[in-house]
Amino acid sequence: MSSVYQGNIKDHGPEYAVDGIVDHDMWGIKTASSKTETSPWIQVDLQKVSRVDFIMVFNRWDTPFGTI
């Protein structure tokens, strides 16, 4: 990720972006969250050449624009 939310780093790191939990509420669970920034991004290492048919991204419902 381009950055990690600084309010609670241990609960909002990039490892939570691919854990399969898609709850939209940042405050009740551990979830990936970036700082507010102009162009946030995330990169996922698949560890090997893999076929990817689609990518589904879930954003928080309580987030301002500029975070992922």
* Interatomic CA distance for residues 19 and 9, integer angstroms: 16
Q: Quick: pLDDT tens for 1-21.
A: 777 777 777 777 888 888 887
pLDDT value, residue 47 = 92
pLDDT value, residue 10 = 78
pTM of structure: 0.58
- Structure token pair of residue 55: 């990518």
What residue segments make up the domains of the chain, in order of their start? 1-68
Residues in the chain, overall count: 68
